Chains A and B, each alone.
Chain A
């Protein structure tokens, strides 16, 4: 980071170039080039595991353990064909469908219940709101493992083991404080006049929430939806505890079957399944990266 200050000064002074022409490889260009190369190398290192995974899906199973290089000696799509058969008598599409059902339902529940709670915290004044807000912030830091045992006992008593209820019910009850907090922060940034005008015109809180607030906080809703989808899609612990029949497994638990069962015998299928499970997330990321990065950034700065 040497000389960072002077570079900034030069940034602003474009006219300087006109006054005194310099050689093409001036100091600024060289620094930029070094900057670019350093970051490109770093990117390559960071992304390499994913590249390796992609290439490994085209290696025949027999090559694992011998050819650990990037490029397969005899590229094949056998792994993908094999993986379609699934595992434990359940076809692969079923795991995808299960994951999609859980993730979509969880996302709807999270966004809806978190937005409602956030509206109450940010815009309605009633007794107890301050205490509840503090409690909500407290749960932001609460280790999830403190509640898993009683929750398990409870869902067991309610006869909900091996159903999706234990995975989805908490999402419809705004238990993930991260999203409530994100939306509260966003709502606070919206001028009160916007919704107070509606209230003066006689709109109740339900109308104000539905037709004024929700449209205004759309970016926060989208960010929350994407995060909620990705986190649920990746979630391992909850389905590991609650889902017992293979035909109800979401992808992470199905992957675990591959991982446990195969030493090197069918490594190709394990790798291909792992990659397929990541594809939806990577696509989401490519499309929505701006929302995600902005969402993370505001989390740390506001508040």
Chain B
């Protein structure tokens, strides 16, 4: 849906270009055109400075740095593809970091979205009283990335913490999640799933737009709940699923502050919270390897771009837009 908006601007501009004018207006048409451009660039000026100075320029500079060795104090030294080669052949920490990040993204995101959709459908069952629940579920999304919540999460999952205590009722003894190599990633995933509220709100708004007649018609045909979900709910929600999937996948790759706080900035135990961006940060700002970290940044950018490209490409076959509802 993001591309479609871009298209719409183009259409707008095209339509308006040959606007009919009175004779006296036509004289000043060129001047008016000029004024429009001036106003346009004037209003866009802050954004333009930000885009070129803080986004595009830095991106290109980072691409250059990724082919250099640079520690801030000596000038960058061109080393070709060495950083990239080292990343993929000679850095077990990088491999580990990629591994846990992929687990986090590929396991956490589907669970989070499934929870979001499930709860949204539950909330959609009834309007009265749903507002309170909706707000309560949304709250974690607002604060989830904060340092406070990371501190709380660590306490909740510590040895004999509330989570362990609850599990011990069922005879499960864990002895703390934070120090446990096998459980610290699941703990991080739970922190992500806890923030299901934001995609849930979007799903819920999508569900409200599904025409009830469709379900009524399906009832008459004797369709069961599973059939209705697969043949009506999912197709009607596909554009919303697409949007959530895109944003959540890309967001999950960038998990940083909770990993930093939970591991005190170390990425431990045994590198199990050394998520991609945390490792990148440590390489750049603890080890002063700006070139190496820039190469990591570009690998991330390429991965994100591929994901976005694949999603947009395949979306044609599974996303159904309701043109009139947009």
A binds B: yes
Interface residues on B, range: 35 or more
Residue of B with least CB distance to A6? B219
List the A side residues contacting B6 at CB < 8 Å. Answer: 130, 133-134, 137
Q: Does B319 contact A (CB under 8 A)?
A: no
Name the interface residues of B41-56: CB closer than 8 Å to any CB of A.
41-51, 53-56
Name the interface residues of A1-19: CB closer than 8 Å to any CB of B.
1-9
CB distance from B172 to the nearest CB of A (A): 16
List the A side residues contacting B198 at CB < 8 Å. Answer: 296
Q: Does A197 contact B (CB under 8 A)?
A: no
A113, A125, A147, A240: the one contacting B12 at CB < 8 Å is A125
Residues 24-53 of chain A, each 1 if its beta carbon lies under 8 Å from chain B, else 0: 000000001001101100110011111011
CB distance from A62 to the nearest CB of B (A): 15
B13, B46, B228, B265: the one contacting A174 at CB < 8 Å is B46
Residue of B with least CB distance to A184? B5
5 A-B pairs within 8 Å (CB atoms) are namely A49-B149, A52-B162, A56-B155, A136-B51, A277-B147
Q: Does A234 contact B (CB under 8 A)?
A: yes
CB distance from A223 to the nearest CB of B (A): 13
A134, A146, A174, A289: the one contacting B135 at CB < 8 Å is A289
Residue of B with least CB distance to A284? B142
Q: Can you add 16 more A-B contacts, CB < 8 Å, to A236-B145, A282-B139?
A: A4-B215, A8-B212, A35-B126, A39-B123, A68-B165, A116-B47, A126-B37, A134-B6, A143-B301, A146-B62, A151-B54, A174-B47, A236-B261, A278-B146, A301-B209, A301-B240
Residues 133-168 of chain B, each 1 if its beta carbon lies under 8 Å from chain A, else 0: 111111110110111110111011000111011000
List the B side residues contacting A260 at CB < 8 Å. Answer: 264-265
Q: Does B174 contact A (CB under 8 A)?
A: no
Whether B155 lies near A271 (C-beta < 8 A) is: yes
Q: Does B26 contact A (CB under 8 A)?
A: no
B59, B72, B219, B225: the one contacting A9 at CB < 8 Å is B219
B202, B228, B280: the one contacting A299 at CB < 8 Å is B202
Q: Does B98 contact A (CB under 8 A)?
A: no
Name the interface residues of B230-277: CB closer than 8 Å to any CB of A.
240, 243-244, 246, 250, 253-254, 256-257, 260-261, 264-265, 277
Whether B125 lies near A35 (C-beta < 8 A) is: yes
Q: Which 8 A-B pairs have the closest CB atoms?
A: A173-B50, A300-B202, A126-B40, A150-B58, A297-B205, A117-B47, A120-B43, A274-B148
Q: A residues near B, CB below 8 A? A: 1-9, 32, 35-36, 38-39, 42-43, 46-50, 52-53, 56, 65, 68-70, 113, 116-117, 119-121, 124-127, 129-130, 132-137, 139-154, 156, 169-170, 172-175, 180, 184, 204-206, 209, 230, 234, 236-237, 240-241, 251-252, 255-256, 258-260, 270-271, 274-275, 277-278, 281-282, 285, 289, 292-293, 296-303
Whether B201 lies near A296 (C-beta < 8 A) is: yes
List the A side residues contacting B145 at CB < 8 Å. Answer: 234, 236
Whether A32 lies near B51 (C-beta < 8 A) is: no
List the B side residues contacting A150 at CB < 8 Å. Answer: 57-59, 61-62, 65, 294
Whether A137 lies near B5 (C-beta < 8 A) is: yes
Whether B254 lies near A144 (C-beta < 8 A) is: yes
Given contacts A68-B162, A301-B209, contact A149 B228 (CB under 8 A): no
Whether B229 lies near A1 (C-beta < 8 A) is: yes
List the A side residues contacting B225 at CB < 8 Å. Answer: 1-4
Whether A39 lies near B133 (C-beta < 8 A) is: yes
Whether B9 lies near A130 (C-beta < 8 A) is: yes
List the A side residues contacting B39 at CB < 8 Å. Answer: 120, 124, 126, 204-206
List the B side residues contacting A129 at CB < 8 Å. Answer: 9, 13, 40, 44
Residue of B with least CB distance to A267? B155
Tell me, in angstroms, the Cα distance from A302 to B322 when the chains sit together: 11
Whether B293 lies near A149 (C-beta < 8 A) is: yes
List the A side residues contacting B129 at CB < 8 Å. Answer: 36
Residue of B with least CB distance to A119? B43
Tell me, in angstroms, the Cα distance from A259 to B281 when the chains sit together: 19
A141, A240, A285: the one contacting B308 at CB < 8 Å is A141
List the A side residues contacting B59 at CB < 8 Å. Answer: 142, 146-147, 150
Q: Does B87 contact A (CB under 8 A)?
A: no
Q: Does B21 contact A (CB under 8 A)?
A: no
Q: Does B285 contact A (CB under 8 A)?
A: yes
Q: Does B4 contact A (CB under 8 A)?
A: yes
List the B side residues contacting A127 at CB < 8 Å. Answer: 37
